[in-house]
Amino acid sequence: MRRSSVLVSCSLVWLAGCEVGGDMADGDGGAGGSASPATGGAETGASSGSAGPRACDGYATEVVAVTYGPGSGFGKDAMPGVVLGPPLGAGDLSGSLDVVSLGNGGMITLGFGGRIVDQDGPDFIVFENVFFAGGDPAAPYAEIAAVEVSADGVAWSAFPCAASELPFDGCAGWHPTYAGSDPAVDPRDPTAAGGEAFDLADVGLSEARFVRIVDRADLTGLSGAFDLDAVALVHWICDAP
């Protein structure tokens, strides 16, 4: 559930002016499916109410669909903008309030105005507002979600996320976010940004257009109600204008 008692006293820095395209050339996309396919499955009818997508820049540009579960509420009034663009992490000791809580079993699907492409190493990073309780790295305040990807918004591939206790390998929501608390940290650097990094090769995909984050309904208490900050791309190609 939401850690409503957590107060963030630090000043958060919005990161801007990032280059488009990561390690890939920009603007040669357009293949691989529509930018707004049917969402399908459990997300049917769950609209974000967004006025329109933002420009492709290596972060989420639109909320395609969202379904909230019990315990949600925090951040809804700031949707969809609160989950678009770069993360605003608060580091090891505080949980950022620049998030939306999905609630238990809630889910959200994000589009990027282009394609995530598989290259060497991780291809994208998911950020939650994890912090270390008492500053102890062995005691993360983790709120766990499974991560799925799709090239067309119809067929989905899920990263394995079955653990019920640390380490939550393959899941999102158990490492603090450092990008945003330090402007020198690149949100798209898997070695420094924090959060959880994912490699499309692990689910057998060469590219994907959508990321779906699904709160683990079987986990409650300290491991419940995933709070999404942002998703950053490491390797991507923007669609042609």
Selecting from 1.10.3470, 3.30.450, 2.60.120, 3.90.640, what CATH number does the domain 50-238 have? 2.60.120
* Side chain identity at residue 19, one-letter code: E
pLDDT score at 28: 35
* Residues 163, 171 contacting (CB under 8 angstroms): yes
Can you tell me the mean pLDDT for 200-205?
98
Q: What are the DSSP calls for 10-64, one per residue? A: SPP-----PPSSBTS-SS----SS-SS----GGGTT-----S-PPPPSSB--EEE
Given a contact cutoff of 8 angstroms between Cβ atoms, the answer to whether 126 and 172 are in contact is: yes
The reported pLDDT for the residue numbered 143 is 87
pLDDT, tens only, 22-81:
433 333 333 232 223 332 223 323 333 444 558 999 999 999 999 999 988 898 999 999
Rounded to an integer, the average pLDDT of 154-176 is 91
Each residue's pLDDT tens digit, 86-117: 998 887 677 788 899 999 999 999 999 999 99
Q: Whole-angstrom Cα distance, residue 83 to residue 1?
A: 18
Domain residue limits, the chain: 50-238
- Return the closest-CA partner of residue 233 out of 188, 192, 184: 188
Main-chain phi, psi angles of 93, to 5 degrees: -105, -10
Mean confidence (pLDDT) of the chain:
78
The mean pLDDT of 169-182, rounded to a whole number, is 90
User: Which has more confidence, 239 or 96?
Assistant: 239
Determine what percent of the chain is predicted with pLDDT higher than 70. 76
